[in-house]
Chain A
Amino acid sequence: MCGIAGVIHRDGTADVGAELTAMLQSMKHRGPDSTGYAVYGPADDLVVIRFVLAEPLKSTGFGMEERLERNRAEVESRLAKIGAEVATVTSDTGYAFRATIRYGGDLKALADYLEDVPGCEVLSLGSSLEIIKDLGDAETVSGQYDLGSFRGTHGIGHVRMATESEVDLASAHPYWAYPFADVAVVHNGQLTNYHQWRRRLEQHGHRFQSECDSEIIAVYLAEYMSRGLSLETAMKHSLDDLDGVFTYVCVTGNELGIAKDEMAAKPLVLFESDPLVAVATEEAAIRALVKREVETRDPYEREVLVWQV
Chain B
Amino acid sequence: MPGSGSRSGVSYDARGLVEPHADMPDNIEVDGSRARFDATDLTIRQINMALRRLIYNDGITDVTVLNPSSKHSLAVGILKRCRIHFEGSPGWFACGLIDGPEVTINGRVGWSVAENMMSGVVMIERSAGSLTGAAIRGGDLIIKGDVGARTGIDQKGGTIIVTGDVGINTGFMMQRGRQIICVNAGMNLGDSMYDGAIYVGGKVRSLGVDCVPGDWTEADTELIERKFRIHGLGDPPEFQKFVCGKQLHNYDALEPSERKLVIH
- Given A32-B16, A282-B92, A300-B168, A263 and B149 contact (CB-CB distance below 8 Å): yes
CA distance A265 to B88 in the complex (A): 26
List, in ascending order, chain B residues with CB within 8 A of A293's CB. Answer: 88-89, 107
Of the residues B69, B71, B111, B127, contact of A297 by C-beta under 8 Å: B127
Say whether A269 faces chain B, with CB atoms less than 8 Å apart. yes
List, in ascending order, chain B residues with CB within 8 A of A267's CB. Answer: 110-111, 129-130
Main secondary structure of the interface of A (DSSP, over half): loop
List, in ascending order, chain A residues with CB within 8 A of B72's CB. Answer: 282, 284
Say whether A130 faces chain B, with CB atoms less than 8 Å apart. no
List, in ascending order, chain B residues with CB within 8 A of A262's CB. Answer: 168
- Given A263-B149, A264-B149, A300-B186, A269 and B17 contact (CB-CB distance below 8 Å): no
- Smallest Cβ-Cβ distance to B92: which chain A residue: A282
What is the size category of the interface that chain B forms with chain A?
20 to 34
CA distance A263 to B71 in the complex (A): 26
- Check B17–A28 contact: CB distance below 8 A: yes
List, in ascending order, chain A residues with CB within 8 A of B168's CB. Answer: 262-264, 300-301
List, in ascending order, chain A residues with CB within 8 A of B107's CB. Answer: 293
CA distance A295 to B167 in the complex (A): 18
- Check B149–A296 contact: CB distance below 8 A: no
CA distance A294 to B257 in the complex (A): 49
CA distance A282 to B71 in the complex (A): 10
- Check B70–A286 contact: CB distance below 8 A: yes
List, in ascending order, chain A residues with CB within 8 A of B127's CB. Answer: 296-298
- Smallest Cβ-Cβ distance to A265: which chain B residue: B149
CA distance A279 to B73 in the complex (A): 21
A268 to nearest B CB, angstroms? Answer: 10
Total count of chain A residues near the partner, CB < 8 A: 22
List, in ascending order, chain A residues with CB within 8 A of B71's CB. Answer: 284
List, in ascending order, chain B residues with CB within 8 A of A298's CB. Answer: 127, 129-130, 148-149, 167
- Check A300–B129 contact: CB distance below 8 A: no
- Smallest Cβ-Cβ distance to B91: which chain A residue: A284
List, in ascending order, chain A residues with CB within 8 A of B16's CB. Answer: 28, 32, 137
Contact with A along B173-199 (1 / 0, CB 8 A): 000000000000011000000000000
List, in ascending order, chain B residues with CB within 8 A of A265's CB. Answer: 149
- Given A32-B15, A32-B17, A264 and B130 contact (CB-CB distance below 8 Å): yes
Say whether A195 faces chain B, with CB atoms less than 8 Å apart. no
- Given A293-B89, A293-B107, A295-B126, A300 and B148 contact (CB-CB distance below 8 Å): yes
Say whether B99 faces chain A, with CB atoms less than 8 Å apart. no
- Check B187–A301 contact: CB distance below 8 A: yes
Say whether A29 faces chain B, with CB atoms less than 8 Å apart. yes
- Check B111–A284 contact: CB distance below 8 A: no
A128 to nearest B CB, angstroms? Answer: 31
> Which of chain B's residues 42-85 have a Cβ closer than 8 Å to chain A?
69-72
Say whether B102 faces chain A, with CB atoms less than 8 Å apart. no
List, in ascending order, chain B residues with CB within 8 A of A67's CB. Answer: none
List, in ascending order, chain A residues with CB within 8 A of B150's CB. Answer: 264
Say whether B108 faces chain A, with CB atoms less than 8 Å apart. yes
CA distance A300 to B149 in the complex (A): 7
List, in ascending order, chain B residues with CB within 8 A of A28's CB. Answer: 16-17
Contact with A along B159-181 (1 / 0, CB 8 A): 00000000111000000000000
Say whether B23 faces chain A, with CB atoms less than 8 Å apart. no
- Check A269–B167 contact: CB distance below 8 A: no
- Check A264–B17 contact: CB distance below 8 A: no
- Check B108–A29 contact: CB distance below 8 A: no
Say whether A207 faces chain B, with CB atoms less than 8 Å apart. no
Of the residues B88, B89, B126, B167, contact of A300 by C-beta under 8 Å: B167
Say whether B146 faces chain A, with CB atoms less than 8 Å apart. yes
- Check A269–B110 contact: CB distance below 8 A: yes
CA distance A300 to B130 in the complex (A): 10
> Which of chain A's residues 260-285 have a Cβ closer than 8 Å to chain B?
262-265, 267, 269, 282-284
CA distance A263 to B149 in the complex (A): 8
Say whether A10 faces chain B, with CB atoms less than 8 Å apart. no
Q: Which 8 pairs between the two chains have the least Cβ-Cβ distance?
A: A298-B148, A264-B149, A283-B70, A284-B70, A301-B168, A287-B70, A300-B167, A298-B129
25 pairs, A vs B, C-beta closer than 8 Å:
A28-B16, A32-B16, A263-B168, A264-B130, A264-B168, A267-B110, A267-B111, A267-B129, A269-B129, A283-B70, A283-B110, A283-B129, A284-B72, A284-B91, A287-B89, A293-B88, A296-B127, A297-B127, A297-B146, A298-B130, A298-B148, A300-B148, A301-B149, A301-B167, A301-B168
Give the interface of A toward B (CB within 8 A): 28-29, 32, 137, 262-265, 267, 269, 282-284, 286-287, 293, 295-298, 300-301
Give the interface of B toward A (CB within 8 A): 15-17, 69-72, 88-89, 91-92, 107-108, 110-111, 126-127, 129-130, 146, 148-150, 167-169, 186-187
* Additional 8 contacts, C-beta under 8 A, given A282-B91, A287-B69, A301-B186: A264-B149, A267-B110, A269-B110, A269-B129, A283-B108, A284-B71, A284-B91, A298-B167
